[in-house]
Chain A
Amino acid sequence: MNILVCVKQVPDTNEIKIDPVTNTLVRDGVPSIVNPFDGYALEAAARLRDDAPDTRIVVLSMGPKQAENALRECLAIAADNAYLVTDRIFGGSDTLATSYILSRAIAKVEELEGTKFDAIFCGKQAIDGDTAQVGPEIAEHLGYPQVTYALEVKSAEDGLHVYREAEDGKEVIGVQTPCLITFTKPSFDPRFPTIKRKMAARKAQITQLTAAELTNIDPEHAGLKGSPTKVKRTYVPPRKEAGVVVKEETTEASAHKLYELLSKAHVI
């Protein structure tokens, strides 16, 4: 089986701080990581290969040149080959334009690999934008069926069986291939790279694809021009005014005070 995993390099949003003076986002020095949900997608592909060793895993990312680091990390963990879509004219793309570019890039990668992918795996969302849109939009561009919120995938005779998180439990969904699956956090931890794979990943050749190489692309649908949504403005959410701190002589007295306050506020 051939699997393509789409990954994004993101700032570690847990490390993002707000500058208290300028009230803006401090991005300097914030480490870049592989989007964690994309890591779960890669792990799901690796697990399929554990069961079927002839499985080939290719990773694809779109972003600036330094996104190569994210691809190298994927190579170190499990991927066999990596491609980076990078071009200034792709900058400013919203999810619709991004998914369009990626869908065209997937066609190009299939041409270069000399084979079609049976499945395309994505993280359910990236932790910087949190939109959860690019995966299903790629599926629509390619005309593939999709399954979202997957935890694990098993190979079956009639396609793939996807264990999916549902509102009140889990579901097993059967889906024909080729298909696109987006992954959420499973109960198991993704594997770590081995030293040997890490060394190989450092030296690996990563193929770059620019707009000129994606011959099938319509520039009208890429970048700012191809993006129906526009960011009008951004702001740091305002802080609420300080609340009342309850501090009485004893814990019992504090509990009593708290009860009184909540009763007076008509919430209990």
Chain B
Amino acid sequence: MEAKTKDLWVFLETNEDGTAKNVGIELLNPGRHLADKQGGKLVSVVIGCHTDAAVKEAGAHGADQVIVVDSEEFQRYTTDAYTAALAHLLEKYAPTSMLIGATPNGRDLGPRLSCRLGTGLTADCTALDIDEASGNIAWTRPAFGGNLMAVILCPDHRPQLGTVRPGVFKKPDVCEDKAEIIREDFHVSADQIRTTLLETIREAAGEIVDLEGADIIVSGGRGVGGPEGFQILHELADVLGATVGASRAAVDEGWITHSHQVGQTGKTVGPKLYIACGISGAIQHLAGMSSSDVIVAINKDFDAPIFGVADYGFVGNLFEIVPALTAEIKKARA
């Protein structure tokens, strides 16, 4: 496919109530940088049902143009409907590149779309820029469990596609909404959607864990020793207004549910403060949290790799320092 414009598209995934998922707004931040360098518009593509709030949010965060497909069959994500809609739009407008949030749905959609269009897709990027020599997007992504970073180009195929994990970029500042809105009347018939949602099993309300949106995360690993050990982490989290996270080791031991997991096979997070308690810092864990603004490591082993990424470290018993820190914060705020 030949690109007709130098525009940079950002796919804005919506929730079932039509509001925007955070990552689609976050991506307007690197999207602006890339669009300016490419010399094209920054376009947000919204697909869903009752999407007015999402469309407004895209405009308020700097999209030059918002292309909207709003219809009942898009209320809930399905591979078939969303691939059809985006393939149609990409063929019609032929932008030079598109960013997709690497949510479960985004990772389901991206490869299906790239294969239909016969173009390249780079997964789970952590940095985006323009390759000065060729003008292509330089997609940087971790491989081998984060041991190696690779810079990928897609030189001869358009659009260039890439997915980016939630939490890697911060939302751009709110600005004056100058977005031009284009509504596309596109529909998919019921028989084109070959999957059916039969049942939803929600986690209990208290179980929903918003790690990606958290400002502060208090996270525990193998050193926490058991489910009881997480109690003192919860107490610290409570005084800080923080969310509790965990390493894969703690989740695999069954001490805390997978929804708390940070790292390569869990969530990628970028809070203002990340307090790692009893986490040794396997590369897979570091890949999910090393972009945090400030990292505190608490571990009894000074050789633990977590100290390699920490801004502040405490070598010692977490069962002593964590309650002491909780008490200190309580005292200071009393």
Residues on A facing B (Cβ under 8 Å): 11, 13-14, 16, 18, 25, 94-96, 99, 127-137, 139-141, 145-149, 161, 165-176, 179, 185, 227-237, 239-240, 242-247, 251-252, 254-256, 258-259, 261-263, 265, 267-268
Which chain A residues lie closer than 8 Å to B324 at the CB level? Answer: 251-252, 254-255
List 9 contacting pairs A-B, 8 Å CB cutoff, sorted by A: A11-B144, A96-B118, A133-B123, A136-B108, A185-B265, A228-B119, A243-B313, A245-B313, A265-B311
B310 at interface by CB-CB < 8 Å:
yes
Near A by CB (< 8 A), chain B positions 181-220 give 194-203, 208, 216
Which chain A residues lie closer than 8 Å to B197 at the CB level? Answer: 171-174
**With A25-B147, A96-B120, A267-B294 in contact, is A145–B194 under 8 Å at CB?**
yes
The SS class assigned to the B binding surface is: mixed
User: In the complex the two chains form, is B308's CB within 8 Å of A240's CB?
Assistant: yes
User: In the complex the two chains form, is B112's CB within 8 Å of A169's CB?
Assistant: no
Q: How far is the CA of A236 from the CA of B142 in the complex (A)?
A: 9
Which chain B residues lie closer than 8 Å to A242 at the CB level? Answer: 307-308
Q: How far is the CA of A247 from the CA of B313 in the complex (A)?
A: 9
Near A by CB (< 8 A), chain B positions 318-334 give 320-321, 324-325, 327-329, 332
Which chain A residues lie closer than 8 Å to B115 at the CB level? Answer: 96, 99, 136-137, 140-141
User: In the complex the two chains form, is A173's CB within 8 Å of B152's CB?
Assistant: no
Closest B residue by C-beta to A259: B328
| Distance to closest chain B CB from A36 (angstroms) | 10
B273 at interface by CB-CB < 8 Å:
yes
User: In the complex the two chains form, is A245's CB within 8 Å of B315's CB?
Assistant: yes
Q: How far is the CA of A131 from the CA of B196 in the complex (A)?
A: 26
Closest A residue by C-beta to B287: A237
User: In the complex the two chains form, is B80's CB within 8 Å of A255's CB?
Assistant: no
Q: How far is the CA of A63 from the CA of B192 in the complex (A)?
A: 35
Which chain A residues lie closer than 8 Å to B332 at the CB level? Answer: 259, 263
User: In the complex the two chains form, is A267's CB within 8 Å of B273's CB?
Assistant: yes
Looking at the complex, which of B34-42, B51-59, B66-74, B153-161 is the stretch in contact with chain A? B153-161
The SS class assigned to the A binding surface is: mixed
Which chain B residues lie closer than 8 Å to A13 at the CB level? Answer: 144-145, 147, 284
Known: A228-B119, A232-B138, A268-B216. 13 other contacts (CB 8 A): A14-B145, A16-B147, A96-B121, A99-B111, A128-B145, A130-B145, A169-B201, A170-B200, A235-B148, A237-B148, A239-B308, A247-B315, A255-B325
**With A25-B147, A130-B145 in contact, is A167–B123 under 8 Å at CB?**
no
B312 at interface by CB-CB < 8 Å:
yes
User: In the complex the two chains form, is A234's CB within 8 Å of B147's CB?
Assistant: no
**With A13-B144, A149-B104 in contact, is A258–B293 under 8 Å at CB?**
no
Which chain B residues lie closer than 8 Å to A167 at the CB level? Answer: 103-104
Closest B residue by C-beta to A229: B120
User: In the complex the two chains form, is A145's CB within 8 Å of B146's CB?
Assistant: no
User: In the complex the two chains form, is B123's CB within 8 Å of A258's CB?
Assistant: no
Which chain B residues lie closer than 8 Å to A232 at the CB level? Answer: 131, 138, 151-153
Which chain A residues lie closer than 8 Å to B88 at the CB level? Answer: none
